[in-house]
Structure 1
Amino acid sequence: MLAPYLLLFVLFTVVPVAISLVISFTYFNMLEFPRWVGWHNYQQLFLEDDVFLIAIKNTFIFAVITGPLSYMACFLFAWLINGLQPKVRALFTLLFYAPSISGNIYFMWQLLFSGDSYGYINGFLMKLGVIVEPIQWLTDPKYILPIIILVQLWLSLGTSFLAFIAGLQNIDKTLFEAGAVDGVSNRWQELWYITLPAMRPMLMFGAVIQITSSFAVADVAINLAGFPSVNYAAHTIVTHLMDYGTVRFEMGYSSAIATVLFIMMITMNVLTQKLLRRIGE
């Protein structure tokens, strides 16, 4: 029964990752046959490519802020909404999930942070007398990163939120009755000793999704700050990968970037899963 999935997984995930790893040790420009260069691509990444170091810094800032905050927000909102009536719960679930499936979701933020006096935030601040001239929100390196982090947090209430809602709905109600008999006396004890341990698979799934999305930030930065952004203020590892892979077609170098990103994601996933295993102990 698992054979069809395993076949597709190996062909379209394991094999491409392995090929990318091999190509990362070569010079490959899509026109010539790959030429083996050993560790040269990795040495260039960390010792010569200043833009890549900026991308690593920005990516870690994204991941450290948006990852934990969005993860906790997804669970908190799911936990609060779960106690509502079914119709009200369905409405709030749609409202929270809608941003992640919307089409032109960046249009609203571009209007809010427009750099002229017609931008909503500039117009509001000028009307209050806080500023006398428009602020270039999306072209000033001082503001670009915080704005993109804000938008990413807004967009992050998606798949993990639905997974947590589903997990809360499927908890066996008899566990709470057994907990009351054993001395669980309030909602916080129920949360720590019953709800969270019963939701470990969903918590693991949500952690993987949030880590992946926080390290793979690209669309938000490109749509709001441009590609590339001013002074690379919103440059991330994925946008750096896109630059070398889809613009310059330096496939060996871009594969090295992808390998570094893959190792970072795997490491964070392993650490997060070790932390989640201790819940309820």
Structure 2
Amino acid sequence: MNAKKRGLSMTAKYNLTGWGFVLISVVMIGSFYFYPMIQALFLSFKTGTGTNLTYTGFSNYTRLFSDTTFRTALFNTFIYLIVQVPLMILLAMFISVLLNDSKLKFRGFFRTAIFLPAVTSLVAYSVVFKYLFGSDGLINAMLLKLSIISAPVEWITDPFWAKITIIIAITWRWTGYNMIFYLSALQNIDGSIYEAARIDGASAFKQFTQITVPLLKPVILFTSVTSTIGTLQIFDEIVNITKGGPGNSTMSISNYIYNLSFKYTADFGYAATVSYVIVILIVLLSFLQFKVAGDKK
């Protein structure tokens, strides 16, 4: 009996020790993540200027349907999402397969060079891109010299090309980041599988589509979800390269939230409502990606 009691007390002691280790993290996450999210939800049901807010129910949510600027920001964000995320994931996967080749010389150098953009400052690289893609920037100068174009392309001031510039900038920065995940996954695939496929006469393309892609499925799902979340929250590149222009043609949802809070007359209630649109989109798109991938977990 005493041994049993002693055993129970030891179990309780271990449990308390475990909770002691995680308690600080739980408190910090609850205080700085979940509490602000709940407060923002309550705030989304209020309307007013600055801190002079009154409860108005679902008026902010109904306002979304008649807000043309919100619709423009939502459309722009979806353009970035639909074009940039698949492009970046395919590029990251393709580059990782090339850099996983044991016969390739200077693999370490190439891996580092492609990953480096992911650790650069968001503001710094955005400003560099703004000058590179300016009317008299290096990109136009090179294209003119190679006779690819006859007049400078308005990368920053034309609505279509401004979106292209933003997509190029995001792809340049985050492709190397996703490449690391694919590289680590590829190195865990047994080489004998590819050797058996080569003996059976499978081409490099078939090996990629029939072996590499299926085995990378968990990593593809992970990078797709994280890239979707990051693209829906895109802010720095737009603010520093195009400032949402020309004529709101590159404005994202996050950019619009910032303008509602700090640039226009402060409307924190409506800004919180727009921010919850991002939350809903992230949940829905992540759920959809899990369903498409067939991940039951």
Q: What TM-score do the two structures reach when normalised by structure 1?
A: 0.82
Distance 1:255 1:37 in 2: 14
Q: Relative to 1, partners in 2 of residues 1:96 and 1:122: Cα closer, same or farther, differing over 3 Å?
A: closer
Structure 2 residue ranges without an equivalent (≥5): 1-17
Distance 1:195 1:8 in 2: 40
- Tell me by how many angstroms 1:201 deviates: 3.5
Equivalent in 165, 178, 181 of residue 163 of structure 1 = 181
The residue aligned with 1:267 is 284
Q: How does 1:156-195 map onto structure 2 within 5 Å?
A: 156-173=174-191, 185=202, 187-188=204-205, 190-192=207-209, 194-195=211-212
RMSD between superposed Cα atoms in Å: 3.0
Distance 2:88 2:112 in 1: 17
1:208 aligns with 2:225: yes
Q: Relative to 1, partners in 2 of residues 1:54 and 1:129: Cα closer, same or farther, differing over 3 Å?
A: closer
The residue aligned with 1:40 is 59
Q: Relative to 1, partners in 2 of residues 1:7 and 1:190: Cα closer, same or farther, differing over 3 Å?
A: farther
The residue aligned with 1:149 is 167
Q: Relative to 1, partners in 2 of residues 1:205 and 1:129: Cα closer, same or farther, differing over 3 Å?
A: closer
- Tell me by how many angstroms 1:186 deviates: 5.1
Q: Relative to 1, partners in 2 of residues 1:141 and 1:186: Cα closer, same or farther, differing over 3 Å?
A: closer
Whose radius of gyration is greater, 1 or 2?
A: 2
1:119 aligns with 2:119: no
Structure 1 residue ranges without an equivalent (≥5): none
Distance 2:42 2:248 in 1: 29
- Tell me by how many angstroms 1:264 deviates: 0.9
- Tell me by how many angstroms 1:197 deviates: 4.3
1:231 aligned counterpart, secondary structure: coil
The residue aligned with 2:108 is 90
Q: What per-residue deviation string (whole Å, max 9, x for no partner) do you get for residues 177-217 of structure 1?
A: 7x76xx79555555455544443432232112211122222
1:225 alignment partner AA: T
- Tell me by how many angstroms 1:156 deviates: 2.3
Q: Relative to 1, partners in 2 of residues 1:26 and 1:198: Cα closer, same or farther, differing over 3 Å?
A: same
Distance 1:176 1:143 in 2: 42
Verify the 8 A CA contact 1:222 1:229 in the aligned structure 2.
no
Verify the 8 A CA contact 2:178 2:223 in the aligned structure 1.
yes
Equivalent in 51, 68, 73 of residue 91 of structure 2 = 73
Distance 2:149 2:190 in 1: 54
1:10 aligns with 2:30: yes
1:35 aligned counterpart, secondary structure: strand
Q: Relative to 1, partners in 2 of residues 1:15 and 1:186: Cα closer, same or farther, differing over 3 Å?
A: farther
Distance 2:167 2:26 in 1: 36
How many residues are matched? 271
The residue aligned with 1:50 is 68
Distance 2:227 2:182 in 1: 12
